[in-house]
Structure 1
Amino acid sequence: MIRIGIDLGADKIRVVTAEEGVIFDEACAVALDQKGNVLAIGNEAKELQGGVDEAISVIFPLALPKIDFYALHALLEQLIYDFKMFKMFKKTIFLFSYPTALNHKDRDELKDHLLEFGAYRVYFDQEIWVAAIGAQLNLFIPVSSCVLNIGSSNCDIAVFSRGEMTRQSQNKVAGRHIDLLIQKWLRQSFRLQVSDSVVEQIKIQLGQTIVQKNPRSMIVEGLDLKNQQLRSIQIDENMLVPVLMPLCEHWANWIYQFLKGLHRDEQEDILMRGLICCGGTMLLKGLKENLQKLISCPVYVTDDPLNTVAQGLETLLSRMESIS
């Protein structure tokens, strides 16, 4: 039996096995030619975006208002081929961790296609569930646990108790808004347009929500919107604090309202056990401290917030019994 876990996101797709862990962790993107043939997937496809060859289409299947199933199927089929997920005389089971944007009809579409393509079984678990498992929480005890997962395109919070998800809420503002705010700030403050890769570097190196005594700085190069010439500026992390702090406050208010709506016993459990957070956005410097201060509740971040969901998939795959 071959068991494959897939963490499906709008920006990233991760492929996991119980034996090897994460075997693919790249952009959820596929490059197609005019006939619909796959030219590249993942980061290689992403690098082709904005190229001069108009015959190449780079598609992020889940990042569109409506899921591009042709592109998604092509991406998954290429992954199946590249990693030899189908083998003679062996059955292949897929376990998907899916974002809230993937509704029941979408999941059925994806499941039917994979079954037709040769999969033996296809299962789906909501990402927040898998995140809770990856955080190594005991979800079956009669005590409430609260998990927050902020990824690039998803933002979910849920309460678990006695093996059930008793409360859940979603927020449309997710991690990608950090990039949007940085781009907007550079345009408005410096009349500078920068690439997505530069924004990513700024976010990783200077993304900050607490003023620092000795702020780090970096040189940023972009297109001057006035004269359309390349121009460089120097920025530091303290300059980003007022840009990103409103995002912290937005999330904190949403979390506070969610916790406020819980039963008293649930609130007491969470105040005692804390809010367990994961997702790559939790790597934003100062976010944990600001959330804890603003919601007046202990906040804990998993050891590897970026890969907590993938770790949850590994755990589930290792627990799955053989299906004959």
Structure 2
Amino acid sequence: MPQASSSKTASSRDIGIDLGTANTLVYARGHGIVLNEPSVVAVKAGTTTALAVGAEAKETIGRTPGSITAIRPLKDGVICDYEAAEEMIRHFVRKAVPGRRTRTRTRMVICVPSGVTQVERRAIVHASTRAGARTVHLIEEPMAAAIGAGLPVAEPRGSMVVDIGGGTSEVAVISLGGIVTSQSLRVGGDRLDAAIIDYVRKEHALLIGERTAEDVKVGIGSAWPVPDRPELETRTFTVRGREKVGGMPKTLELTAPDVRTALDEPVEAIIAAVRTTLEECPPELSGDVMEHGIVLTGGGALLPGLDLRMASATGIPVYVADNPLDCVALGSGRCVEDLDTLSSLLAPAKG
């Protein structure tokens, strides 16, 4: 779930990047999170010329003329458009780390899904190097999320984290500074939006766009009835779209139960991944997870009722982390603050 973009300058040469499918966050050493903008690039059609990047580019989605294309360079947590990704990283690094000479010496820690292939890892490293990084280190997203959420990842104790981002959901059990067992599921906020689009199309023969679906999800979306918030059940949301048959503009009023039905399949897929991870977890660590619970991070953690539904399905307490949207970036930032000490948590980044 996107957050308002923000940025401020910093003089640090070491940065951590949560290179997300929906949003990119940049953490500068000694300054904290200095940039949070949508992962979108607007380019001139038929060229690689970037006309806008980030928040400005997102405003063009679904509203561009034929001469401009709005591109999301990452899909399912990995690069799908290399040139646009390189331009986007370069643009964000320029905003976060001012000064040409400073940027050329920048060391980067970049978060990647735990299920990415070596080819996908090399693409991220190469794009970051071309964007100006002196060295690039990779850290798996569930590890970064656990660090950012304050879990004791270095202790001989099982900690379970579920990070639900825009393109992927990462489920992992962590102990002694390593991931013991994990699942990387290419289901996240984008899939939730797509489920709403499909539901409205099939049930009401109405075509709506990605931005409208996202507004519906944020406005009245839920995964489970929330006893403490009964007002959520009575909320409605008016959407405007185009009739599937006839093509005329039309408005439709959706209810909270309608949207919960639409979201049922992707939510259940995330819970199934949690069950699978628990089944593969060593018994001793399973006991730790039972005692200390599961921590939710990422934008998807903000979906009302998700913690209750997951707890009901697993029989384990589920908690939403403080600042779930920032956990991965904060985890990468912790590594940036002390690269030498925490180097064992970073994956080798060979380009």
Provide the TM-score with structure 2 as the length reference.
Answer: 0.83
CA-CA distance at 1:191 after TM superposition: 1.2
Mapping of residues 35-184 of structure 1, within 5 Å: 35-63=47-75, 67-88=80-101, 91-100=105-114, 102-115=116-129, 118-184=132-198
Q: Structure 2 counterpart of 1:27, which letter?
A: P
Change (3 A) 1:57 1:100: farther
Secondary structure of residue in 2 paired with 1:232: strand
The more displaced of 146-155 and 244-253 is: 244-253
Higher relative contact order (Cα pairs below 8 Å, separated by 6+ residues) = 2
List gaps (5 residues or longer) in structure 2: 1-11, 342-351
Which residue does the alignment assign to 1:14?
25
Change (3 A) 1:286 1:99: same
Which residue does the alignment assign to 1:30?
41
State the alpha-carbon separation in 2 of the partners of residues 240 and 203 from structure 1: 7
- How many residue pairs are counted as aligned between the two chains? 322
**Alpha-carbon deviations, 1:120-176, whole Å to 9, x = none?**
221111111111110111112111111111112111111111122111112233332
Secondary structure of residue in 2 paired with 1:189: helix
Secondary structure of residue in 2 paired with 1:226: coil
Change (3 A) 1:51 1:307: same
1:221 aligns with 2:232: no
State the alpha-carbon separation in 1 of the partners of residues 263 and 205 from structure 2: 19
State the alpha-carbon separation in 1 of the partners of residues 116 and 167 from structure 2: 12
CA-CA distance at 1:117 after TM superposition: 5.3
Could you tell me whether the CA contact under 8 Å between 1:249 and 1:294 is conserved in 2?
A: no
Identity of counterpart residues, as a percentage?
25
1:2 aligns with 2:16: no
Secondary structure of residue in 2 paired with 1:120: strand
Q: Structure 2 counterpart of 1:317, which letter?
A: V
List gaps (5 residues or longer) in structure 1: none
Which residue does the alignment assign to 1:189?
203
The more displaced of 284-293 and 187-196 is: 187-196
State the alpha-carbon separation in 2 of the partners of residues 278 and 165 from structure 1: 16
Over alpha carbons, which structure has the higher Rg? Answer: 1
CA RMSD of aligned residues (A): 2.4
Which residue does the alignment assign to 2:6?
none
Change (3 A) 1:116 1:252: closer
CA-CA distance at 1:207 after TM superposition: 0.2
Provide the TM-score with structure 1 as the length reference.
Answer: 0.90
